[in-house]
Amino acid sequence: MREMTDEIARIMVDVFGVPPGRVGAATAFTELEADSLTLAELTLLLEQRYGVPVADGDLRPEHTVSDVAALLRDKGAAGGR
């Protein structure tokens, strides 16, 4: 679980240009300066990375990084490769 939250935080940092210190397990998307399409981009990246279907609308602005990790694990994603 820890590994997965770390990796999702890293994806946010790398792909969306968020400062590294600003993303942790408890960080919600609403705290980041992400626009409405950022969640769409993250949906596609997570689906590709973890090989589980992520529906449009699964990720909500109020979700934290650890909420997203839990959601992916519920869908059967394995934590960290």
Q: Residues in the site for other proteins, rule: CB under 8 A?
A: 35-37, 39-41, 43-44, 48, 56-57
Question: The tokens of 12 are what?
Answer: 């946010």
Q: How far apart are CA 65 and CA 4, in angstroms?
A: 9
Q: How far is the CB of 25 from other proteins (least distance, A)?
A: 25
17 or 24: CB nearest other proteins: 17
Identity of the residue, 35 or 74, whose beta carbon is nearer to other proteins in the bound complex: 35
Whichever of 24 and 61 has its CB closer to other proteins, that residue is 61
- Output the six-digit token pair for 50: 């973890």
| Whether 46 contacts 68, CB under 8 Å | yes
